[in-house]
Structure 1
Amino acid sequence: MMSATEIAGFVLALVMVVCSIRELHWSWPLAIISSLLYFFVFKDSLLYGEAGLQLVFAALAFWGWWQWLRKGDDAQPALSIQRLSTRGWWLVVIASAVLWPALALLLQHFTDSDVAWWDALPTALSLVGQALLGRKYIENWLIWLVVNTISVALFAYKGLWLTCVLYVLFTLMSVWGWRAWRHSLPKQAT
């Protein structure tokens, strides 16, 4: 059964991702509100990793907002879309490999979660994806593609059908975001 909280979070989250794709800083306050709404949706569904992640997302959204609003010496945005280096990819892999089991064990031992490992995987990857988005690394969209695909199955298992639809849309929007940001890369190089 869909709640008003889930419906409001759904709408705000969709608008937030569209704003992120278009590099509009308004994505960040929308992220704060939708994350707080989804905290309650996931908590009530015993998805504690996802619930906790929403609180982290809300906090990180303040950081992302600040990152995107900063101006350089030339009064232009301090951040532009960029690519991860090989070292950056290694950091992504290591962070993901450490976060997933750490979060899974935390959920397994300190909550009544019935899907600790499956809850922890998209949670861990989401933390990495959010950090990449905040710094405007184009690869954030690839991380979100993986997160969203896994999340569709997780939310279907939990019967969160509207949220499942949201994450199917997020999966498609991840591809859209990747293409839009990739198209912006050459413009910034000239």
Structure 2
Amino acid sequence: MLVSLYFLWSKSSVYWHWSNLSLLPYFLLFLSGGQWMLAGLQVTYLLFGIHGLYLWHLEGRRSRGEVRFNEPLWYGVTWVASVAIFAYTVAVTDFSAAWNGVQFVAVTLSLVANFGTTRRWAWSWPVWIVVNAVQAVYFWHAAYWVLFALQFVLAGMSVHGWRAWRRDERRAVTFA
């Protein structure tokens, strides 16, 4: 996870490989602890990871003049996937348990952040920071102490990523 953020700062597609690689241990941890929404979130991260990797590949080829791609279709896939995962999460969540509501907020915000990340939009970073804060609260409750501490490291790395991407956006506007 930490290695993947290093590559995300520079918008390198290697990010998606490292991110996808890190999902299995999290999936198994959450599955073994009965944290069904967080285990399912790892599956959605994988879906976004595969989609994001291919989308970035297409955008790179487009930038080099090698190919044109159906942008509304591919960007629409991200929206459809987000809405479908959100709908499924709403359908399976038992909202009578308060801590399930906390997991639900983390999952929902993660979907929003993932969407922004696949598009390389700087606003995705502050959303990730909020995800880290919500997950820190939940991991404290679940006594996942290492994951609790990791959320602060990830939030700090996200602040750096946000600054880097905003700097890139300002440069793009200056040179446009």
Is residue 2:131 matched to residue 1:142?
A: no
Q: Residue 10 of structure 1 aligns with which residue?
A: none
Q: Superposed, which structure 2 residues align to 1:39-188 within 5 Å?
A: 39-70=27-58, 71-75=60-64, 99=86, 103=89, 106-108=92-94, 115-188=99-172
Q: Percent identity?
A: 23
The one-letter code sitting in structure 2 at the alignment partner of 1:52 is: G
The one-letter code sitting in structure 1 at the alignment partner of 2:101 is: W
Is residue 2:21 matched to residue 1:37?
A: no
Distance across 1 between alignment mates of 2:119 and 2:137: 28
Structure number with higher helix proportion: 2
TM-score (norm 1): 0.74
CA deviation string 1:12-62 (max 9, x = no partner): x11111211121111101111111221111112222111101011012101
Q: Which runs of 5+ in 2 are unaligned?
A: 68-78
Task: Count residues in correspondence.
Answer: 157
* Change beyond 3 A, Cα 1:131–1:75: same
Q: Residue 11 of structure 2 aligns with which residue?
A: 23
Distance across 1 between alignment mates of 2:65 and 2:23: 29
CA deviation string 1:106-135 (max 9, x = no partner): 2318xxx77211111101110111011001
- Matched-pair contact (CA < 8 Å) for 1:68–1:134: yes
Distance across 1 between alignment mates of 2:100 and 2:123: 26
Structure number with the bigger relative contact order (C-alpha 8 A, sep ≥ 6) is 1
Judge which range, 16-25 or 113-122, deviates more: 113-122
The one-letter code sitting in structure 2 at the alignment partner of 1:161 is: W
* Change beyond 3 A, Cα 1:155–1:74: closer
Q: Which runs of 5+ in 1 are unaligned?
A: 1-12, 79-90
Q: CA RMSD in A?
A: 2.6
- The offset of 1:73, in angstroms, is 4.4
